[in-house]
Each structure stands twice: as structure tokens, then as C-alpha cells.
Amino acid sequence: MQPKGGGGGAGAFEDTKVKEYFDLVINALGLEGLKVNIDDLAGKLDESTRGPYQNAFIQECEKLNVLISGIMRSLGDLDLAYKGELTMNELMETLEDNIRLDRVPPQWKKIAYPSERPLISWTDNIKARIDQMNLWKDDPSKTPKVIFINRLINPSSFLTAIKQVFCRETNQELNKTTI
């Protein structure tokens, strides 16, 4: 048994694993640059083009932005701790351990969506979710022809939007409509 990050092969491997994850998030995915500017998005919509679908998508973008900010903030703090600019605390150690074990850290689970994926797959899934929102944000007044429900943080919001639009078009009662 060797201490975390200590001498020998095991510590070097673990440090490499954390560095590889940093590289994935910051360089390969460019997660920070993928946040959706909600103000620009809302500016593209007026009252006649903003409906239930747009509200559901804006909520998704807001939740993804909160998740990205949380990930980047905690990784930034861990990086500062590695550089000696911050004192390593229990939360940072938990983050580091979870990255090494390819698990989603608890502080990210609190602001994310339910998932049992390993960390790398979970991170790739965030990118897929953001890509889906980016396809929509180019022309937010139109609803995309295909929506992957499993890529929504709050799929019930989108399903409710479907019901709302259906009820408006067919003059049905919303509380008596099911999917």
C-alpha cells in the first residue's frame, strides 16, 4: 500500500489519471466554452415565438450551465491546490479520489442528473447533452425534429411541454391528458 500521490508507480499512475481527466475536460471537450448564453438566447425569442418547448429548453440550458460551472469551479480549486495556492481540503480529496476511481464525485451528483455511468462516460454524456442544446439554440423559435429525451436533465419538463402544445392545438384539458 502506498499513499496517494506518493512515490512509486501507483502514485504516478494516479496523478496521471487526474491529469488526463483535467485534459479531457479543459482541452478535449472545452467544457467551459460550451456554456449557453441564456441572455442571447432569450433575446432571440419574443412572446410570439416563446412557447412551452422554448421554456423547457431554456431550463435545460440553465441546468447545464450550472453543472458546467460546478465542474469547472471544483476542478479549478483542485488545480490551485496542486499548485500550492489553496490548501487541499476534504472536498478536494474526495474529488481527486473519485476521478482516480472513474466515479462521478458527490458534489457533481448534487447538481447533475441521475446516472450510474462511470466518470469518463458521464463526462462524454454531458457533451452530448450540450450538443443537443446547441443544435436548438441556433434557431430557438423552432423545435428540432428529433429530441433525445435521455439527454435532457429534466425530461418531464419537455414531456409536459408536449402535452401543453397538444392541448392548445386540440382544445383538450391539460390535467386529463397523459403521455
63 is a domain residue: yes
37 is a domain residue: yes
pLDDT of residue 99: 95
40 is a domain residue: yes
Which residue stretches of the chain have pLDDT < 70?
Answer: 1-15
Estimate to the nearest angstrom the gap between the alpha carbon of 50 and the chain centroid: 24
Percent of the chain with pLDDT over 70: 92
155 is a domain residue: yes
Number of domains in the chain: 1
CB atoms near residue 158 (< 10 Å): 19
20 is a domain residue: yes
pLDDT of residue 8: 43
81 is a domain residue: yes
Range of the domain at 102: 9-176
By the 8 A CB rule, do 14 and 4 touch?
Answer: yes
19 is a domain residue: yes
43 is a domain residue: yes
The CA–CA distances, whole Å, from 156 to 38, 59, 118, 151 equal 21, 12, 24, 12
